Amino acid sequence: MSIVASIPLSSLRRPAPVAKETRWAVADIAELFELPFMDLLYRAQQVHRTHFNANEVQLSTLLSIKTGGCSEDCGYCPQSAHHDTEVEADKLMQLEQVLAAARAAKEQGATRFCMGAAWRSPKERDMEKVTDMVQGVRALGLETCMTLGMLDQGQAQQLKDAGLDYYNHNLDSAPDFYGQIISTRTYQDRLDTLSNVREAGINVCCGGIVGLGETREQRAGLIAELANLDPYPESVPINNLVAVPGTPLEGAEPLDPFEFVRTIAVARITMPTTMVRLSAGREQMDEALQALCFAAGANSIFYGDQLLTTANPQAARDRALFARLGLHAQGERPAVQQPA
């Protein structure tokens, strides 16, 4: 039985971040990273509790609707045609397959259904198919999100007209580190797509990846780029690198777990009303680390057994962790009455 069937979509959305005059300097964000760990978490908790129910987590499910064979050379991605991984290229999924996966996600408690295609950018022949997917998933009562690569203004408008709620397009890293990760798409290309999405009136989902070999200052640079978007994204996925064999980053040194928590906390402080999502890499995190991330202000997760091509904790494990921590999914009533 779905736990969200009777809840209107409007009740699951937060107000969009408002335009702002203040800009975050990289140096100021770097100072946040340097705070004593407990002080940083305390500050992030204060910000989080001002804007959200601290014990509520939004659940999104991600489906790869077109896997592998991507022409981009992103050094972290097993779907790139440039890398020798075990991921094989597939064609775009059929509409009914996507809707079946969306129904299953809703039954498991997800409120947002995200669809990802391994493209540099969608071709016009694909747009009718993906807009049909948007309309079909929305008809099930789920929020919709897509990540299809770069979009021009016309494609963004087509997705808006179909009713797309969110478009995901990550910046990946800071501008001064970006060129070490990808050469086939510029940083400005990514910013242009975000601008097209925003101008079309679609909510922005935009984050990055840590553990790529970047410095702490470069992590601060990524957060600055995100926080200084006007307005900043409604959703900010923070990915911890999954070093996939066959990619150039397969031997990357794992990021210190406390540094990952610091990144979550700094994202929360600098973007107070965004949904900060624990994304890729959660399968490699133990429960204590995930709990620290929630304490630092994370309030969204990707929910389900798979993230595009990498593993994700099973839904039953997430539910068990939520029960132990006293968390509940967005749209659910908590099992125990929470303090005001």
Amino acid at 129: K
Stretches in the chain below the pLDDT threshold 50: 1-19, 306-311, 339-340
Which positions are catalytic? 70, 74, 77, 114, 145, 205, 277
Determine the Cα–Cα distance for residues 41 and 22; give it in Å rounded to an integer. 23
Dihedrals phi, psi of 64, to nearest 5 degrees: -85, 110
Determine the Cα–Cα distance for residues 115 and 129; give it in Å rounded to an integer. 12
Q: 234 is written with which tokens?
A: 């409604």
Is 77 strand, coil or helix?
Answer: coil
Query: Tell me, what's the pLDDT at 16?
Result: 47
Query: Tell me, what's the pLDDT at 88?
Result: 62
State the CB neighbour count (10 A cutoff) for residue 134: 23
Query: Tell me, what's the pLDDT at 304?
Result: 66
Query: Tell me, what's the pLDDT at 309?
Result: 47
